[in-house]
Amino acid sequence: MLLKGKAAVISGAASPRGIGRSTATLMAEQGARIAILDLDEGQARDAAASLGPEHIGLACNVADLDACKKAAAEVTEVFGKVDVLCNIAGITQPVKTLDIGPADWDRILDVNLRGVLYLSQAFIPHMRENGGGSIICMSSVSAQRGGGIFGGPHYSAAKAGVLGLAKAMAREFGPDGIRINCVTPGLIQTDITGDKLTDAMRADIIKGIPLSRLGDARDVAGAYLFLASDLASYITGAVIDVNGGMLIH
């Protein structure tokens, strides 16, 4: 049990086939109490209930600072402490540079980047009081290789922003015992691509992956679990690639 007695908050974990849900399941299997934060309260609650009665689900739009603060207050009241924060909520949009409108830019940056800042701001004071913690932020191979997988350039920009934000926070909060790291997945089979990922696109992408398959949500959950656990106690400001070798650098 890598997380026995720990409390973990996971944003974007309501989606049944998503990375957040898989991370929640794996962390619960490893002994953590889980708080799932997602847009819809009913779906967040159902997702938490599917893990067992000791877990909770709350509505929280990560792009809304007040909502993040409210969720942090509720979770810390119920659990008494928070040891792990997994920033996983995210959205994407497959468009080219010249087609990115102002509202697209705002939406993609708000959820993927601003959301990481706001949720971290909401939980860091509790972690400080608690003597430390682990925050794991969701970036993407798209940030490292200049997109070209599925999301548009605004998605790449947001995910690259997450790398800078997380590294800077790691430097700032290391003295408080708070470790902050990122995960950069390649193409993972979830519902984020909707029906826009065609079989031809999928086959083409697999040709460039040394492990010859797309990733599964559980592949990414494993990296989150490692970084959350004490196995990673001297790791902060790091980036772990989970991409099947799609990008080796």
Contacts to ligand NAD by CB under 6 A: 11-12, 14-15, 17-20, 38-39, 60-63, 88-92, 111-112, 115, 138, 140, 185, 187-188, 190-192
Q: Out of 118, 155, 224, 234, pick the active-site residue.
A: 155
- Report, in Å, the least distance between residue 234 CB and ligand NAD: 26
Residues in the chain: 249
- Report, in Å, the least distance between residue 176 CB and ligand NAD: 25
- Of 24 and 130, the one with the shorter C-beta distance to ligand NAD is 24
Q: Which residue is nearest to ligand NAD (CB)?
A: 90
Computed on alpha carbons and rounded to an integer, the radius of gyration of the chain in Å comes to 17
Is 155 an annotated catalytic residue? Answer: yes
Work out the angle between the directed axes of helices 153-173 and 102-109 (0-180°, nearest 10).
Answer: 30
- Of 130 and 143, the one with the shorter C-beta distance to ligand NAD is 143
Structure tokens at 184: 């950069």
DSSP for 39-86 reads S-HHHHHHHHHHH-TT-EEEE--TT-HHHHHHHHHHHHHHHS---EEE
- Of 62 and 124, the one with the shorter C-beta distance to ligand NAD is 62
CB 37 within 8 A of CB 11: yes
- Report, in Å, the least distance between residue 91 CB and ligand NAD: 5
- Of 36 and 130, the one with the shorter C-beta distance to ligand NAD is 36
- Report, in Å, the least distance between residue 175 CB and ligand NAD: 28
Distance CA 180, CA 227 (A): 9
Characterize 223-247 residue by residue with b for buried, 16 or more Cβ atoms within 10 angstroms of its Cβ, and e for exposed.
Answer: bbbbbbbeebeeebbebbbbbbebb
Q: Could you give the residue numbers annotated as active site?
A: 155
